[in-house]
């Protein structure tokens, strides 16, 4: 099994504070990959108020965990309000979109099948 590659800020000898790893930027979406491996990746996102991702599909399941603020998420036509400390599954192949009605941070975990060649 391959170990996940991580950014320099993450260490195994101390805890990291998610809200200190990425900052909200005016009128923008900022992201930082925290870990990546053949099985998936974990990315921390900061959205300014009103920012979002338009409807799209992904070939893998994804988990959205809200760290701070809130998001309006649409999954397969169903609207889901997700707040700090909450998590929602976006299944593979199902159209989804999200919008931050206020400045917000989320952790996105993409779950991929490991590549047998890795």
Q: Enumerate the domain spans of the chain.
A: 33-111
With 90 as the cut, is the pLDDT of residue 102 above it? yes
pLDDT per position as a tens digit, 59-100: 999 999 999 999 999 999 999 999 999 999 999 999 999 999
With 80 as the cut, is the pLDDT of residue 9 above it? no
Residue 1 has a pLDDT of 38
Nearest to 106 by CA among 37, 58, 35, 47: 47
Share of the chain above pLDDT 70, in %: 88
Share of the chain above pLDDT 90, in %: 77
> What is the CATH architecture assignment of 33-111?
Sandwich (2.60)
With 90 as the cut, is the pLDDT of residue 113 above it? no
Please state, as a whole number, how many other Cβ atoms lie within 10 Å of the Cβ of residue 108: 19
**Between residues 33 and 9, the one the model is more confident about:** 33
CB of 44 within 8 A of CB of 67? Answer: yes
């Amino acid at each position: 099994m391959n170990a996940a590659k991580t950014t320099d800020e993450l260490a195994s000898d101390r805890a990291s504070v998610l809200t200190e790893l990425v900052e909200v930027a005016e009128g923008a979406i900022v992201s930082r990959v925290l870990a990546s491996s053949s099985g998936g990746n974990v990315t921390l996102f900061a959205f300014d108020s009103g920012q979002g991702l338009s409807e799209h599909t992904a070939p893998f399941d994804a988990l959205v965990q809200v760290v701070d603020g809130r998001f309006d998420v649409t999954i397969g036509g169903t609207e889901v309000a997700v707040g700090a400390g909450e998590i929602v599954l976006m299944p593979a192949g199902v159209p989804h979109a999200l919008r931050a009605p206020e400045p917000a941070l989320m952790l996105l975990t993409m779950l991929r099948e490991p590549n047998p060649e890795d």
